[in-house]
Amino acid sequence: MGRQVSMCGDGANDCGALKQADIGLSLSQADASISAPFTGQTAHIGAMVELLKECRAGLATNFSLFNIMVTYSFIQFTSTLVCEIYMQQPADFQFMYWDFFMNFLFVLLTSRTASS
């Protein structure tokens, strides 16, 4: 993986660099905000730190949702396999039980974790 480039700019001469950077942050509401992917609310370099925190939180959320989907699929596959081994088809109520009761705890606990 290559290096990631971030750029902060506040004028028209920064538009090209803001557009080419992996993380482009415009510190003004004028010309640079059109070409930059992100626009800060304040004209201060500290907005880049806040942007990186938000990106980190978004990445942590996506990873948590991926974990929920993998766990959900594993529970449903295993439960269906156990039912098939004993020569029974899962009923509608069993699917509802797996959806509501078994997976609700995972969703609830995952939403309580911090992104740090």
pLDDT tens across 23-81, in order? Answer: 888 887 776 667 778 887 777 888 888 888 888 888 888 888 888 888 888 888 888 88
- Please give the pLDDT value at position 75: 82
Q: How far apart are CA 18 and CA 39, in angstroms?
A: 11
Q: Say whether pLDDT at 1 is over 60.
A: no
- Distance from the first to the final alpha carbon of the chain: 24
Confidence band for 111, pLDDT divided at 50, 70 and 90: low
Domain extents in the chain = 1-44, 57-116
Helix axes 103-111, 46-85, angle to 10 degrees: 170
Over residues 8-23, the mean pLDDT reads 81
Q: Which whole-number Å values give the CA distances from 45 to 22, 28, 32, 52, in the listed order?
A: 17, 11, 15, 12
- Please give the pLDDT value at position 80: 82
